[in-house]
């Protein structure tokens, strides 16, 4: 069994493709079921955020696991797996562990060091755990990734600036408005995790006029009440849009919420005294704002693609280096655990094989020497078992020690070959990734 990560992010994939790959929260359980139904996938976690879609999996073979995961992703977007190849990255074994830890620490985020991805990873793990989809290996990876992320933020200044995708988007959007956000009315569309972060960020920045709109009005009321904002009923969205200068949209809708026609109507109803464009910050994947709306005069649309190209700030090099050192140390520690965990079933299988051999020989002895008393048979059985256990003790202890060292997985494989052991969940010797596996 080994770890495999297959994903797409803002770094490798246009938002148009990323939004097709996106997995809505309500669809995650079914996607997990599809993944677990594949022959080479033993466990899976699906992470789908505004700027990445990733499958973390425990697989019994690299090539088979990769084909299985790409097949499920391809089915989601209605494309052959080969058509997605240019947009996907693949990490296997050690590289998969390193990627998971870097993601949790914020090193792979659009806004380096942001802490929101840690919560998103935790939510993805909890959903998979509730679906009984994690298994031991993936359970340990997620637990350790979350711990590494917390450690990175606690021990370094990687998040000292308090940046997030929302704060970065507001900075970019504010630059498009004369005088910035000061005195500007803002509307947040969506009351999920991203919407809540948007409202909290706006309140922290001192924006006084914040409106919150959500399909479920009760969630909008609760979120608005927590930050002194105003909840607007969903059926009053068009009127509310015409009264604001900036919109942060982050819903889970599968279809655009703000179509070109809807935005055209908003512009027509907008008071003539509003200065600057209507700024639409679309942080949803799939996108909330129909791409055609960006061509309308008087509108500025910034989506994930546009935001990625506008970001220039980064944490101090010393902080990034410190987090990288933490990740490197934790990766090696996790790999040592993996190597030890990999050899344990093999050692158990070897001892099981020895017990089977002893049992068979004792039964043969009973047939050949029916004259032996029960006490004599028990004494012989005890002696033979002691001999076997003493013979196996030193080599099994030593192989556990060797397995914890780099390259230790070879010892478990060697034991399986020497004693012809069949251990469920172990990969075959020939199924290893090629040079393109980690890209």
Quote the CA–CA distance of 223 and 227 in Å, as a whole number: 7
Beta bridge partners of 349: none
To the query of whether residue 70 is one of the catalytic residues in this protein, the response is no
**Are 125 and 134 a contacting pair, CB within 8 Å?**
yes
Q: Structure tokens of 320? A: 């990034």
Quote the CA–CA distance of 233 and 217 in Å, as a whole number: 6
HSE, CB side, 13 Å, CA atoms: give it for residue 316: 8
User: Which helix or strand (DSSP H or E) is residue 3 part of?
Assistant: strand 2-9
Catalytic: which of 1, 8, 45, 50?
Answer: 50
Residue closest to 117 by CA, chosen among 186, 163, 67: 163
CA 115 to chain centre: 14
Beta bridge partners of 258: 289
Which residue has 């052991």 as its token pair? 421
Residue closest to 112 by CA, chosen among 165, 150, 154, 52: 165
Residues with Cβ within 8 Å of 146's Cβ and at least 6 positions away in sequence, in order, are 104, 118, 121, 122, 125
The residues that are catalytic are 50
């Amino acid at each position: 069994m080994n770890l495999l990560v297959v994903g797409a992010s803002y770094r490798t994939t246009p938002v148009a493709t990323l939004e097709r790959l996106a997995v809505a929260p309500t669809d995650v359980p079914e996607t997990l079921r599809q993944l677990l139904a594949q022959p080479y996938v033993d466990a899976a976690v699906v992470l789908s955020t505004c700027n990445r879609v990733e499958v973390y999996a425990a697989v019994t073979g690299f090539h088979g696991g990769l084909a299985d995961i790409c097949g499920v992703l391809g089915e989601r977007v209605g494309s052959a797996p080969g058509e997605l190849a240019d947009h996907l990255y693949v990490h296997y074994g050690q590289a998969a562990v390193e990627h998971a830890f870097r993601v949790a620490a914020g090193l792979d985020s659009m806004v380096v060091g942001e802490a929101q991805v840690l919560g998103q990873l935790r939510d993805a793990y909890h959903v998979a755990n509730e679906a009984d989809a994690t298994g031991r290996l993936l359970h340990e990876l997620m637990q350790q990734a979350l711990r590494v992320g917390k450690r990175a933020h606690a021990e370094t200044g990687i998040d000292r600036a308090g940046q997030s995708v929302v704060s970065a988007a507001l900075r970019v959007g504010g630059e498009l408005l004369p005088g910035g956000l000061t005195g500007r009315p803002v509307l947040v569309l969506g009351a999920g995790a991203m919407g809540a972060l948007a409202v909290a960020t706006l309140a922290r920045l001192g924006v006084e006029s914040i409106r919150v709109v959500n399909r479920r009005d009760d969630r909008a009321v609760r979120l608005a009440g927590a930050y002194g904002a105003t909840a607007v009923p969903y059926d009053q969205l068009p009127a509310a849009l015409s009264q604001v200068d900036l919109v942060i949209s982050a819903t889970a809708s599968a279809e655009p919420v703000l179509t070109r026609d809807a935005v055209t109507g908003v512009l027509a109803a907008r008071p003539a005294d509003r200065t600057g464009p209507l700024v639409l910050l679309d942080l949803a994947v799939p996108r909330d704002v129909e791409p055609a709306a960006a061509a309308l005069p008087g509108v500025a649309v910034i989506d994930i693609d546009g935001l990625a190209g506008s970001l220039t700030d980064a944490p101090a090099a010393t902080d990034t280096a410190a987090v990288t050192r933490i990740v490197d140390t934790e990766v090696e520690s996790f790999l040592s655990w993996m190597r030890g965990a990999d050899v344990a079933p093999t050692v158990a299988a070897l001892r099981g094989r020895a017990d089977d051999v002893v049992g068979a020989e004792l039964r043969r002895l009973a047939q050949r020497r029916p004259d032996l008393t029960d006490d004599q048979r028990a004494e012989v059985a005890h002696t033979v078992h002691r001999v076997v256990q003493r013979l196996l003790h030193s080599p099994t202890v030593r192989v556990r020690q060797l397995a914890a060292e780099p390259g230790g997985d070879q010892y478990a494989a060697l034991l399986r070959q020497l004693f012809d052991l069949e251990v469920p969940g172990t990969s075959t010797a020939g199924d290893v990734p090629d040079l393109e596996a980690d890209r």
